[in-house]
Structure 1
Amino acid sequence: MWRGKPLLEGSRQGSVDGKSNVSNDKELVHKCHSDPGGGRALGAAPRTHRHRSASGALRKCVLTLDGYSYVIEQGALTIVRRSSSRSKTESCSTPTDEQLDQLDLETEHLPAVDTPDACDKAALRLRYLLRQLNRGEISAETLQKNLQYAAKVLEAVYIDETKPAVARQQSAPTLVFRRLADEDDELSEVQPDAVPPEVREWLASTFTRQLATAKRKSDEKPKFRSVAHAIRAGIFVDRIYRRVTSTALMQFPQDVVRVLKTLDEWSFDVFTLHEAANGQPVKYLGYELLNRYGMIHKFKVPPTILENFLGRIEEGYCRFHNPYHNNLHAADVAQTVHYMLCQTGLMNWLSDLEIFATLVAAVVHDYEHTGTTNNFHVMSGSDTALLYNDRAVLENHHISAAFRLMREEEYNILQNLSRDEFREFRTLVIDMVLATDMSFHFQQLKNMRSLLSLAEPTIDKSKATSLVLHCCDISHPAKRWDLHHRWTMSLLDEFFLQGDKERDLGLPFSPLCDRNNTLVAESQIGFIEFIVEPSMGVCADMLECILGPLHSGNKSGTNAATEPTIDENSGAESVNKFKIRKPWITCLSDNKKIWKEQATKDAEARANQEQEENIEVQPPPEE
């Protein structure tokens, strides 16, 4: 399959279901040195130019594929974006009768419908079909296939033209594309009586943006969409994991190996791992994940360097002795990200480098957390808030400190990445960790909902992995009750410690940080209903949208993590719809039910206490 192969090699031999990419279509025959930049996609023969010196030695090779030129010259590989301009010989002028007579109407090896060549092919075939219809020389089957292809090309062009300009071909018409979201606060849609004022205040202060920030235009990286997606759709197999016990890498204690056997479970017990690992869950779990996904081998990460890196990351999480934002939380989030990658099949949609970046981002996402919120840093005027201008204070520090650590030779797990790989890796990690800033929560969900509402949404890899990491970061209410309750108590301890600091500094209490006036059960109900449940719902919808096409392309092999079901709303034309497993739904329902029971008991206890206090303060009756 595509993953694990050199780029050039994969381009030459990529295929779907074992079929060769080399086309026998007469239209696709080209001579060397005559290609000004016409792209090719999967199903079409890549063009190769070879330039030889006077002695006959091969000095330069140019392979054109899917709109990109791969230039090999003196041992170096350069990737060049194909210009959208076309030569006169490739213009869309009216074809001659001679050209039409040479046309082959077979549709098996046509270029992908979302490539520039597809428009030319569709136009040429439509003209030929008209001529053949007039002559009565066309079969119904051939007519139907070619019309279907032309319709798909038109649909793809329409969808492509609704993308932002940076994501369109330069030759595409300029259209005003739909804004995906507005900057309004989603909490305004929540009825005031639906949640206690204190909890509402906490939700508003934590999960909405306090300051307007300048919008950064995303620099879309070129994607080999038609090739990579088609190959993954055609193959879609489970990855083969490398087991730690079968390698000569870092030695794992037997108790740790025993606990890691349950690593694929949704409600993985990281507390048990912490005990088995002698207080080093990040070290062992991080190493296990990077080895399972083949990242150590793929990116030539020296085992000793990786062990050193994970050890220092673990120390950074323990630096401030936080009850919640510590190495246990880092390990828990990394394991939850693994579940999303592995058990849903998301890893089949991502490249090796994107998987590597996602796992590392999960491990470092709260590195050197101070145990206080961004708002506390801003209100107290900390050095970190001054350094990052009050914007995503902690998240910026987590990223900066982690990459600063990786600049040191003994901790540089990225030392064997190429320059381009490093830039892509760094960009992905920055995007993912910044997206864990809770003040972006509602905007992030609204953007994804709007995107998913489109007829055929195209989801950016960075946005997808960012939403996954954010959901995993806040997922403890969606785990088994005993785990969730333990996390809740740890988080409240951390909030109360911040409240003590705020009292000492003369600052107002942040929501839920006053240990004497906090509604624990109510806060968790609000957190589940307004934050976690909507987040997990949008994330699941996104994953099903992404993975549905890959699953439909794998008719012969079904991923055990999927649940094809019948869409009951489509009536007589109901079809199998791809679904992922959602173990969090049951956990959220159970946990919310328990908290509601606890809230009722707490309300009764407070009412009884108030009644007793009123009796005590009442004056004795006059005689």
Structure 2
Amino acid sequence: MEPSRCSVLVVDRSCTEHTYQPSQTSNSVNSRSSNPFLANSGDRCTCEANNSQDIDDLIKIFLNIFAEVITVPSGTKAINILKNRDVGSPPIIVLIDIDHTESVSRDLYARRESFLVMEGGVSLSEIHTKKDTLYGLELLRYVNLEISKGTLERVIPIVCSFNENSDFMLECLNKGAADYLLKPIRPEVAKTIFLHVHRTYTSPSRSTEYPRSIIRRFSNLEDRLDEIFTKDKWLTNTIIQYYTPSLSPLDIPNFPRLNSASEIERTNILKKKLTDWEFDSHKLSEDDLMRCVVIIFEHAMELDELRELSISTEKKKKGSFKFKPFIIWIDALHRFLLAIRQAYHDSNPYHNFTHAVDVLQAIFFFLCEMRLLPSLFSAGYNRRGKSSNKQRCRPNDLLRDSDVFALLLASIGHDVGHPGVNNDFLIQSQTPLAQLYNDKSVLESFHVMTLFNLMQKYGFKIYESEPPCETKYSEFRKIVVNAILATDMQLHHKYVKDIKEQKSRFESVDFNPSQKLEEEKNIIIGALIKCADISNTARPYHIAKSWSNVLLQEFTCQGDLERKLGLPVGPVNDGRVSQPDSQIGFIDFCAMPLFKSVSELIPEIGFTLNYLEVNRKTWSDKKETEGDNCSLRHNSSSVNLDNRQNSPIAVPAARTIPYLRPLNLPDGPGSEAHSDDCGKSSNRDDILSTAEASDVPFRYGGRSKRRSIWSLFSKNMRKANTNNNSVDNNSDYNSSHHNQEANSSVLCCNVQ
């Protein structure tokens, strides 16, 4: 973290509230009155008059180092600034003067309003004395309490004082200070303050380290439950931080708008593209991809039933907000969509935001064909009514407007935070994420958690007027969860079987779907999103080929990493299967059975079958024409993996186990540092770059380490699955099928 990206918030009674930036002239600082950066002589300090430091000099020092300096005279003003920061803002260092602490305590005692003994922390609404009492050590305590609750993020509290007593310094550190600075603060000391930002965001946060017996420390059930929920929120945020890109500040004012005169023409062009099955997201700019997402979501929000949704922000004035049936804060929607875009790894060749938009457009196209959504250019819209045959119902009849919205939301977020490797890799390497989800739908479960976390974090709240346990929100969440879990290709053949069985039930005269409405609806929604997820195979050939290219690039990236870790490398990841063979195999054994089954259930999807047949023939012709020339022999991936060295494909495995493991048993033994055979601590960062990978096992410490580089990879390392009749890939789909006639194996591949 560069210091030029950080801010400093100085809390000292000697200064006034002001914001400074390096671009400001020095006169703007010198124009202020010169107030010494020290406590009054009656306060607790051990300074002499000649040790004073002018606050203006301190500001000048900080402006030469940091992006912004904010000065406030009180803790209340400081907390207001911290709590009103935008989500994803750069880190901020809070420099807290503690030389007034004793005088503040005396003032509180005299008023009999001391909050130093309050168990639940300080509420700003309770601070009503003439002199701001939230200051010094109590401000430090309050800031750390809010950090532990998750209400303050990217905040590093540091205290400063003239007090040179070592016991007092340790007391401040024990109360949560990241550092203790002696006044006057010298320029060479100020230059090193930013290191605390780096240390905080590359290691477990101090505010989230808990004693092992903390659950038993509380005497009543309410306190224990509160602590459990606090740790649960920390665990969720920790996992997401390691697997998703760090979110930069969301610039809502620069968000692509759709209603300005200059944007109308571009918007109409994009609308035409969205209503065409030949939609090619690879040819759109990042802003145009974002515009497409906004067009679809704003269009969907016009449905009648969706007017019951309440989407609002956290910034509500107490007592002044009244719920209305249809409140859509457009900035909340835009902020949420921007957060989703940032949570996708751009360095992934396939699993990136472009793929998410492609899946979203496919779902949108299907829903319009089914008359569950109006066309973007329709003058009027009447939702297709129920079948006139009272004895029969159709799949379309089971989906409500809220289900449509849930399906769109699941589509754009179904791969959010994808690390660029598949479930099989995470399971084989025994990453904490795979252990957390017991090797079942690992990535899909992570995508669900991340999506709902972003919804809460950025104020995009569905059915906010209702308690979380109410029926509408519960049903909505179930739809989104089941839709994303359905994209696990490990369950592909099970879904195809379920779709065929559902088709038979719909043909039955006495079929009553209301008896098992939720189960029937989940199958329909799963069928739609599964078709959308692999829809690139059923696009026109030139589009399907471009998706196949980036897919194989990502497979090769994973192969490089598997080779470096000494893990088994699959045929596709190793480039031993030709591109036509992989696509023909996937169409024959995955795509065609799915689309054919869904087309029989939902006839509006039947148009895709012709595209699949044409593409299969084209791939077959290409194979006959080019022969072995179209095989992708492994040298190294064409993607520069040095640019992915902070990608989470290996980082979570290397860094999260030491402090995730104690959460399983709070009173059990802690996690000791993992070591190699010599007892020396392994440098886990060695794995981050996979460039120049070779076929030899990963070497560490001069010896070949195939299965014991770290304890993470040394326990029960699974052997490669050699069963050619099973589907052994999931999120990035690699499956092998035995062709009995040719007595050869064909590897089919595709990714979600």
Q: Could you state the TM-score of these two structures normalised by the residue count of structure 1?
A: 0.49
Specify which structure has the higher proportion of helix. Answer: 1
